[in-house]
């Protein structure tokens, strides 16, 4: 396609990016958009006015980016994800647009405190944990590196629940994040697509003998687009995240309202809009609910419709699809896209099966984020047939063709056919969405080296045998813009003084720090930065929990979803042992232990773990014999904005999952990048982190993945681990006997019993090695020069874990996409 002459002409006259211009825009926005007299404005009003002033500048660049992409024949990458854990947007957008300092100053001149204003923004918590946060990092990096990359997802009205402790147990409160409107979104009333559910498939026989299918009747709702511009850092590129909200159709209105039951009609209408109402707060179990299937299909169908519309509006043909479009499936949640694209290509565009299938396979790729069987999505065939009858037909046909191929390659191997089938015939018939995603994709990736190897050897071993070339590894990464520049401004400045700013775009450049890691002056500055960050965290802790912590001791941090395999219980046993040793008069090194994380509301064991941690913490924190030698804090409502305060303050990063269970982890990367040392198992990306930072700069302990497998095979009773370990036995007994509770012996007894008799994630078996690793950490912490050298070495060697490297890996190994940086305009802006 040719470049038209006026693509660089701005659609608007460029807005000023200096303090004076921003001040003017903010004041104008206060009157014109917020509708308030600046004299009467609240801090929330200032938040809104400032956001409007920033978004004006972003949308200008968004339009230019779009013009350039439209003119230049670029390949577009579409990231389909049910979750985006974005966090607050104002500061991120200011920083990436390059007007943070000017805006801070503008607000100051308007008599407003920037830090107070930004704190009013609710986190956009449209995700559970790692998978959703990774999606947010990937979008930011796509824009920063200038890739034409677009996110699609759901505009949940209620994001991840807000967690409170009442006083020990987790209680969930709704996260009504859109209640005051959202200045960042552009509702696109004209981008609405009808989405069908239920109904039936009608067969049409043509004169030439061919059969054509259509999907008719049932229920329709509309998917309406809401656009969130996503700015690149240090570039003019602004990409787009399009989230779909559900709206009732007009049809719907007429059908019911005309029956005269007005109240029921309104209620039904809101029922049909409930599809985009709430995020399912499960990160490691597939719940198999009809509404969830409808959510998945809803956003996939709208996104594919939109992608194909754009493709044809740009003048491309369907044959061009593989050259112009790459679609990444973030886990199996959007895997129904494989069947939906087949449906669109055949039923709507009249392609033959074979051609449609070829195109599908060239367009899709699939990222797997977990090996845990309970997280693998399957849908009962009955449910799928009822909700998506045409898709079920298509899945049967995909399966048929696929199994025919397998039969030819492995004649007579019926067991293999059963294992590979898209339909699991055992225990009721279920569609295996991971199999659909694998069969329909040209590339399948795991998210860390070990994880990808395990995918090949276990979960997808039969597929790997068929198509070894389709399996690739793309190790996760994190964005240094949020997790260093924004979260840790002091460390950012410190790095700038020593090695310049290039690392902000090319994180490998942090290596330039290495020659100085033992430099006493540098170490002293690093320690000052850490201390300041600890003070910031101490304030947050005091505000949220009332607990006072000292800032001159080791901060030991475990922040992540609460899950048995992540083993918060292992840390808890250590805390209790430290408590006992202090009470026994031993002089143990002081520390503050910090937990953060949510449990899925239906995950009883995880909720019990939270409760018991809180009760243990309460006893320890109020014991005068302990004083401030040990404090234990569970920070309520762990979320992105809290993470930006916790991570820069950490000394020790707890990455202690049972080996083989954590696909990658990304918190491990954020913490090490901020100079925390990892105590961790050889699991997920910890292995690659160890390889990068060196064995001397990390505390590795515990069973390896293959040792875990062997240990499990031996079938030892967990209790056997207690023999000859009096300190550990005493700890377990204290839990069992309810030492830490005043009114809930049952929960404590049950948790103790679980450890002693079940312990499916081998907490007790790994405990001795874990305690020893913690002692190594204490010993190193007692030698500040050695500790600081190790911490600074961690920072210097974390370059590989930049999300920019991750995104380039996807672009090269999977998408075949190239960056398209937007050229600066001559007249600035």
**Which residues of this chain interact with ligand AZC, rule CB under 6 A?**
128-131, 134, 283, 331, 369-370, 375, 447, 476, 662-666, 684
Shortest Å distance, C-beta 377 to ligand AZC:
9
For ligand AZC, the closer of residues 590 and 684 by Cβ is 684
Evaluated on CA atoms 492, 493, 495, 496, the torsion sign reads positive
Maximum Cα–Cα distance for the chain, whole Å?
92
Shortest Å distance, C-beta 374 to ligand AZC:
10
For ligand AZC, the closer of residues 131 and 359 by Cβ is 131
DSSP-assigned letter for residue 161: P
566 is catalytic: yes
For ligand AZC, the closer of residues 374 and 401 by Cβ is 374
Rounded distance, CA 734 to CA 659, Å? Answer: 27
Contact indicator for 15, 827 with CB cutoff of 8 Å: no
Closest residue by Cα to residue 756 from 765, 747, 745: 765
> Annotated catalytic residue: which of 566, 571, 598, 748?
566
Shortest Å distance, C-beta 171 to ligand AZC:
23
> Annotated catalytic residue: which of 292, 369, 451, 534?
369
For ligand AZC, the closer of residues 284 and 529 by Cβ is 284
Q: Please provide the size of the chain in residues.
A: 829
- SS3 state of residue 425: coil
Shortest Å distance, C-beta 169 to ligand AZC:
24
For ligand AZC, the closer of residues 661 and 699 by Cβ is 661
For ligand AZC, the closer of residues 195 and 455 by Cβ is 455
Q: Tell how strand 238-248 and strand 219-231 pair up.
A: antiparallel
For ligand AZC, the closer of residues 222 and 689 by Cβ is 689
501 is catalytic: no
Rounded distance, CA 491 to CA 694, Å? Answer: 22
Shortest Å distance, C-beta 136 to ligand AZC:
11
> Annotated catalytic residue: which of 133, 292, 333, 561?
561
DSSP-assigned letter for residue 802: B
Contact indicator for 824, 710 with CB cutoff of 8 Å: no
Contact indicator for 641, 536 with CB cutoff of 8 Å: no
631 is catalytic: no
> Annotated catalytic residue: which of 67, 95, 333, 560?
560
For ligand AZC, the closer of residues 294 and 369 by Cβ is 369
Q: Tell how strand 677-680 and strand 652-655 pair up.
A: parallel
Alpha-carbon torsion angle 43, 49, 52, 57, nearest 10 = -110
Q: How far is CA 661 from CA 131, 453, 686, 762, 769, in A?
A: 15, 13, 12, 12, 18
Rounded distance, CA 242 to CA 225, Å? Answer: 6
Neighbour count for residue 386 (Cβ, 10 Å): 16
Rounded distance, CA 216 to CA 202, Å? Answer: 7
Whole-number CA gyration radius for the chain: 27
Shortest Å distance, C-beta 657 to ligand AZC:
8
Rounded distance, CA 301 to CA 423, Å? Answer: 22
670 is catalytic: yes
Shortest Å distance, C-beta 250 to ligand AZC:
37
Rounded distance, CA 33 to CA 331, Å? Answer: 39
Rounded distance, CA 392 to CA 397, Å? Answer: 9
Rounded distance, CA 630 to CA 654, Å? Answer: 17
Evaluated on CA atoms 744, 747, 750, 754, the torsion sign reads negative
Q: Is the peptide bond before 167 cis (omega within 30 degrees of 0)?
A: yes
23 is catalytic: no
Shortest Å distance, C-beta 132 to ligand AZC:
7
Residue nearest to ligand AZC (CB): 130
Instruction: Cite the DSSP H helix spans in 546-666.
Output: 568-583, 604-621, 640-646
> Annotated catalytic residue: which of 666, 747, 793, 806?
666
For ligand AZC, the closer of residues 283 and 306 by Cβ is 283
571 is catalytic: no
Shortest Å distance, C-beta 104 to ligand AZC:
33
DSSP-assigned letter for residue 511: G
Query: Residue 561: which residues within 8 A CB-CB, separation 6 or more?
Result: 128, 129, 130, 283, 284, 597, 598, 599, 600
> Annotated catalytic residue: which of 294, 470, 670, 805?
670
Shortest Å distance, C-beta 560 to ligand AZC:
9
Rounded distance, CA 559 to CA 597, Å? Answer: 6
For ligand AZC, the closer of residues 389 and 665 by Cβ is 665
Catalytically active residues are 369, 560-561, 566, 666, 670
């Amino acid at each position: 396609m040719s470049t038209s002459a006026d693509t660089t002409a701005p659609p608007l006259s460029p807005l000023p990016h200096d303090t004076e211009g921003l001040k003017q825009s903010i004041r104008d926005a206060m009157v014109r958009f917020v509708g308030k007299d600046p004299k009467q404005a609240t801090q929330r009003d200032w938040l809104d006015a400032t956001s409007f002033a920033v978004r004006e500048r972003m949308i200008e660049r968004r339009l230019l980016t779009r013009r350039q992409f439209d003119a230049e024949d670029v390949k577009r990458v579409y990231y389909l994800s049910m979750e985006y854990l974005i966090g607050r947007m104002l500061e991120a957008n200011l920083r990436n647009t390059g007007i943070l300092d000017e805006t801070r100053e503008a607000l100051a001149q308007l008599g407003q405190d920037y830090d107070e204003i930004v704190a009013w923004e609710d986190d956009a918590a449209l995700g559970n944990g790692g998978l959703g946060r990774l999606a947010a990092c990937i979008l930011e990096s796509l824009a920063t590196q200038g890739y034409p990359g677009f996110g699609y997802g759901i505009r949940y009205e209620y994001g991840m629940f807000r967690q409170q402790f009442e006083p020990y147990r987790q209680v969930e409160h709704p996260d009504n994040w859109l209640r005051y409107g959202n200045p960042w979104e552009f509702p696109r009333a004209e981008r609405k697509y009808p989405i069908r559910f239920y109904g039936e498939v009608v067969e049409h026989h043509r004169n030439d003998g061919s059969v054509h299918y259509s999907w008719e009747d049932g229920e329709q709702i509309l998917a309406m687009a809401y656009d969130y511009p996503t700015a690149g850092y240090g570039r003019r590129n602004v990409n787009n995240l399009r989230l779909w909200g559900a709206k009732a159709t007009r049809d719907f209105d007429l059908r019911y309202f005309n029956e005269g039951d007005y109240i029921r009609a309104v209620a039904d209408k809101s029922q049909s809009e409930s599809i985009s109402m709430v995020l399912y707060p499960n990160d490691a179990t597939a719940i198999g609910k009809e509404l969830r299937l409808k959510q998945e299909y809803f956003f996939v169908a709208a996104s594919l419709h939109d992608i194909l519309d754009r493709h044809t509006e740009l003048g491309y043909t369907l044959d061009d699809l593989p050259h112009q479009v790459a679609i990444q499936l973030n886990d199996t949640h959007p895997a129904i896209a494989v069947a939906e694209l087949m449906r669109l290509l055949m039923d709507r565009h009249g392609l033959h099966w074979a051609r449609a299938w070829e195109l599908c396979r060239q367009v899709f790729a699939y990222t797997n984020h977990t090996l845990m069987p309970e997280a693998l999505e399957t849908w009962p065939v009955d449910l799928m047939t009822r909700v998506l009858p045409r898709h079920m037909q298509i899945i049967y046909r995909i399966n048929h063709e696929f199994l025919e191929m397998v039969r030819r390659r492995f004649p007579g191997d019926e067991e293999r056919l059963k294992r590979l089938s898209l339909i699991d015939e055992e225990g009721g018939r279920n569609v295996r969405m991971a199999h659909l995603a694998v069969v329909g994709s040209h590339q399948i990736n795991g998210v860390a080296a070990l994880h990808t190897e395990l995918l090949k050897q276990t979960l997808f071993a039969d597929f790997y045998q068929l198509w070894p070339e389709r399996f690739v590894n793309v190790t996760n990464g994190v964005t240094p813009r949020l997790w260093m520049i924004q979260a840790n401004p002091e460390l950012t400045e410190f790095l700038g003084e020593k090695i310049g700013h290039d690392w902000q775009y090319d994180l490998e450049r942090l290596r330039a720090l290495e020659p100085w890691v033992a430099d006493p002056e540098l170490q002293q500055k690093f320690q000052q930065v850490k201390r300041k960050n600890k003070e910031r965290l101490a304030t947050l802790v005091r505000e949220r929990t009332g607990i006072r912590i000292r800032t001159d001791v080791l901060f030991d941090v475990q922040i992540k979803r609460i899950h048995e395999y992540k083993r918060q219980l292992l840390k808890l046993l250590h805390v209790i042992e430290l408590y006992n040793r202090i009470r026994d008069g031993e002089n143990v090194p002081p520390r503050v232990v910090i937990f953060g994380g949510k449990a899925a509301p239906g995950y009883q064991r995880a909720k019990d773990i939270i409760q018991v941690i809180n009760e243990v913490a309460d006893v320890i924190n109020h014991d005068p014999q302990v004083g401030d030698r040990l404090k234990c804090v569970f920070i309520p409502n762990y979320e992105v904005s809290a993470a930006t305060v916790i991570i820069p303050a950490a000394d020790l990063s707890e990455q202690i999952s049972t080996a083989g269970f954590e696909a990658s982890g990304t918190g491990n990367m954020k913490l090490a990048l901020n100079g925390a040392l990892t105590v961790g198992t050889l699991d997920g990306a910890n292995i690659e982190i160890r390889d990068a930072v060196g064995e001397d700069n990390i505390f590795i302990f515990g069973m390896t993945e293959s040792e875990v497998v062997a240990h499990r095979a031996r079938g030892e009773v967990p209790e056997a681990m207690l023999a000859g370990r009096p300190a550990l036995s005493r700890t377990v007994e204290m839990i069992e006997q309810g030492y830490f509770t005043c009114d809930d012996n049952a929960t404590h007894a049950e948790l103790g019993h679980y450890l002693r008799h079940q312990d499916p994630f081998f907490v007790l078996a790994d405990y001795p090695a874990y305690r020893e690793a913690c002692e190594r950490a204490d010993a190193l912490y007692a030698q500040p020069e050695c500790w600081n050298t190790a911490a600074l070495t961690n920072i210097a060697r974390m370059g590989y874990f930049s999300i920019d490297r991750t995104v380039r890996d996807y672009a090269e190994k999977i998408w075949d996409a190239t960056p398209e940086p937007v050229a600066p305009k001559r007249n600035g802006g």
